[in-house]
A and B are shown apart, each in its own frame.
Chain A
Amino acid sequence: MSEYRKLAFVGTVGTGKSTIVRTLSEIEVIDTDRASTVDIGKEFTTIGIDYGRIALGDNMALGLYGVPGQSRFSMLWDHVNRSLWGLAFLVKYSESPDSDSLLEVIDFFQPVANDIPFVVAVTHADQADDDSLESFCTVFQEILTSRSLPAAVMAIDCTSRDSAMSIPLYINAMHRARENA
């Protein structure tokens, strides 16, 4: 296999981890969805990892890891955090942005100290109107700025391959920019 890298998607229940791994993957994915036992607004939730893979260019293969964003699963964060190529935090578009889990993830993964390109992806963006999506993204951009985190906030639709691809492409561009710096 060509050069292999790890890209992780972390997000709480229903943010789109399984969907984005499935949308992007070129192989049949591993999923560890289980029926939820509390009402989370959907039937299944990832309790272990999702795993898939895509090729990026001619000589790079990306292992795609989807990991639960609830901090009780932080033993999985520990695991995927090793030798990461990029990290995407998924947050579902809704009227009231919940930012606590983003702060937990930032504090745990320490993308700046560990030199890992980081993006915040606002998912279900296809279900929002432009104005409210923009103000939703602004909330997260402000958190990143307050933490001096040079990361983008991008709105995506996990069910669309083109839209989902913008995450690995953006992270790849960040790597390129560093190499050329």
Chain B
Amino acid sequence: MDIAQAKPIIRPLIEEFVAKHFEVLVTSACTEDGFVIAHCDGSKLTLEEDKIAALSSTLLSLSEAAARVINSGKLQVTVMEGDKANLVVVKTQCQNLAIVLTVASESSLSIGQVLFLANRLAGEIQRL
């Protein structure tokens, strides 16, 4: 699986996900080295897709480096909590392509809820 093959099959999942959860501000799937696969903004925010991909892939790579330093075992999630919005980054796989999945939502969804949704979406991508 390469980026070009992944795009058309992941995009509908992400779009459906954002449409279904109105608290979600943005959902992005990109490669570990920061190339956009799919990106969808909710109705409240418009963001540059490559910017989110650059940020998420860098956050994930720094989290993985920190995880190695503290011998944390496999990294499960990277979390950013804000007053008004939360963001989680998880890693998933589409066949043999590693994918960085980022979901940001309004803080009316708790970190736990966002993480639950993100993990469920990650599972759907994995089953493609």
Tell me the complex Cα distance, A51–B56, Å.
12
Partner of A76, one of B33, B36, B62: B62
Kindly specify which of B45-53, B80-88, B118-126 makes contact with the partner chain.
B45-53
Q: Which residue of B lies closest to A75 (CB)?
A: B65
Tell me, yes or no, whether A181 is within 8 Å of chain B by CB.
Answer: no
Tell me, yes or no, whether B55 is within 8 Å of chain A by CB.
Answer: yes
B82 to chain A, nearest CB (A): 16
Which chain B positions have C-beta within 8 A of A6?
33-34
B67 to chain A, nearest CB (A): 11
Tell me the complex Cα distance, A78–B33, Å.
10
Partner of B33, one of A27, A75, A83: A83
Q: A49-B54, A83-B33 are in contact. Are A27 and B61 (CB under 8 A)?
A: no
Partner of A30, one of B32, B49, B54: B54
Q: When the two chains form their complex, are residues A79 and B58 in contact, meaning their CB atoms are under 8 A apart?
A: yes
Total contacting residues, chain A, CB less than 8 A: 18
Q: When the two chains form their complex, are residues B57 and A4 in contact, meaning their CB atoms are under 8 A apart?
A: no
Q: When the two chains form their complex, are residues A63 and B61 in contact, meaning their CB atoms are under 8 A apart?
A: no
Tell me the complex Cα distance, A79–B58, Å.
7
A-B contacts at CB below 8 angstroms, number: 46
Total contacting residues, chain B, CB less than 8 A: 16
Q: A79-B57, A82-B32, A82-B33 are in contact. Are A61 and B62 (CB under 8 A)?
A: no
Which chain A positions have C-beta within 8 A of B57?
79
Q: When the two chains form their complex, are residues B58 and A63 in contact, meaning their CB atoms are under 8 A apart?
A: no
B88 to chain A, nearest CB (A): 19
Q: For the complex, would chain B's binding face be called helix, strand, loop or mixed by DSSP majority?
A: helix
Which chain A positions have C-beta within 8 A of B61?
75-76, 78-79
B75 to chain A, nearest CB (A): 13
Q: When the two chains form their complex, are residues B48 and A53 in contact, meaning their CB atoms are under 8 A apart?
A: yes
Partner of A63, one of B32, B34, B62, B65: B34
Q: When the two chains form their complex, are residues B35 and A83 in contact, meaning their CB atoms are under 8 A apart?
A: yes
Q: When the two chains form their complex, are residues A63 and B33 in contact, meaning their CB atoms are under 8 A apart?
A: no
Which chain A positions have C-beta within 8 A of B65?
75, 78
Which chain B positions have C-beta within 8 A of A83?
33, 35
Which chain A positions have C-beta within 8 A of B32?
82
Q: Which residue of A lies closest to B57 (CB)?
A: A79
Q: Which residue of B lies closest to A50 (CB)?
A: B54
Residues of B within 8 A of A (CB): 32-36, 48-51, 54-55, 57-58, 61-62, 65
20 contacts between A and B (CB under 8 A): A1-B36, A1-B49, A4-B35, A4-B36, A6-B33, A27-B48, A27-B51, A48-B58, A48-B62, A51-B51, A51-B55, A53-B48, A65-B54, A75-B62, A78-B61, A79-B33, A79-B57, A79-B61, A82-B33, A83-B33
Residues of A within 8 A of B (CB): 1, 4, 6, 27, 30, 48-49, 51, 53, 61, 63, 65, 75-76, 78-79, 82-83
